[in-house]
Structures are given as structure tokens and as C-alpha cells.
């Protein structure tokens, strides 16, 4: 009986620590504690892309050409695209796929950071 209570407490502690780890990791990577919300930023190799909080519909030739999700983003299920392979630096834009043809825009400052 006592062993059962101890094992339940251990399980509860591990579960709470796991939830805390997921929430804090999500905050560090995507800028929000809510794992179900759209990210407020995306990070690649400690290079941060803040969100413009705009979703746009891109079809045909306007769709981003390159799938650039790194293993961490793939693990969390985020599909990230770019128009260029050299996407790090000033005045760059990347896109998070949120629907069939809908994308959330993330861009860095500088000239020409408005994608279309």
C-alpha cells in the first residue's frame, strides 16, 4: 500500500517535471509557453526570427521553395519554408506552414523584409 503511494508520487513528480520541461523548451524556442499556440518567434542556431503575426495564403509560384526545418523543428512538427537557402541574416523572411496554403510570416529587420 505504501509502495503504491510512493510510486504514484514518483510518477506524478516525473509527469510534472516533463510538462515543465516541455513548456520551458517551447518558450525558449518559439517564444510562448502555450504549445498549441502559433509561435511568436522561430530560432535557428540561436538566430531569432520574430513573428509578424500575419498569416498569408501563398499558391503556385508564390509558395516558398525550400523546406528548411531543422531536426528540432521536425521533432515538434513545425514545417518551415524559405524562398532562399541563405535564410539567416538581415532582411530575410521564413514561413511556418499552418494550413494547406496558409503560412505565418517570420522576418528579420532590414530593407525589403516584406515578402510580397
pLDDT in tens, 32-91: 877 788 888 888 777 888 888 888 999 999 999 999 988 877 877 889 999 888 887 777
The CA-atom distances, in angstroms, between 65 and each of 73, 82, 91, 101 are: 18, 6, 17, 13
pLDDT in tens, 102-114: 999 998 876 554 5
**Are 42 and 94 within 8 A, CB to CB?**
yes
Backbone angles phi, psi at 75, to 5 degrees: -60, -35
Backbone angles phi, psi at 102, to 5 degrees: -105, 140
Q: What is the pLDDT of residue 111?
A: 59
* Domains of the chain by residue range: 1-36, 38-116
Residue matched to cell numbers 513545425:
78
Amino acid at each position: 500500500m505504501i509502495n503504491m503511494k510512493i510510486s504514484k508520487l514518483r510518477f506524478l513528480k516525473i509527469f510534472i517535471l516533463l510538462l515543465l520541461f516541455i513548456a520551458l523548451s517551447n518558450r525558449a524556442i518559439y517564444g510562448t509557453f502555450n504549445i498549441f499556440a502559433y509561435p511568436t518567434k522561430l530560432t535557428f542556431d540561436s538566430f531569432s526570427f520574430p513573428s509578424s503575426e500575419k498569416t498569408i495564403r501563398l499558391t503556385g509560384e508564390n509558395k516558398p521553395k525550400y523546406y528548411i526545418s531543422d531536426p528540432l523543428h521536425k521533432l515538434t512538427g513545425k514545417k518551415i519554408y524559405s524562398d532562399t537557402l541563405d535564410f539567416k541574416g538581415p532582411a530575410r523572411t521564413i514561413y511556418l506552414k499552418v494550413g494547406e496554403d496558409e503560412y505565418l510570416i517570420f522576418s528579420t529587420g532590414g530593407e525589403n523584409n516584406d515578402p510580397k
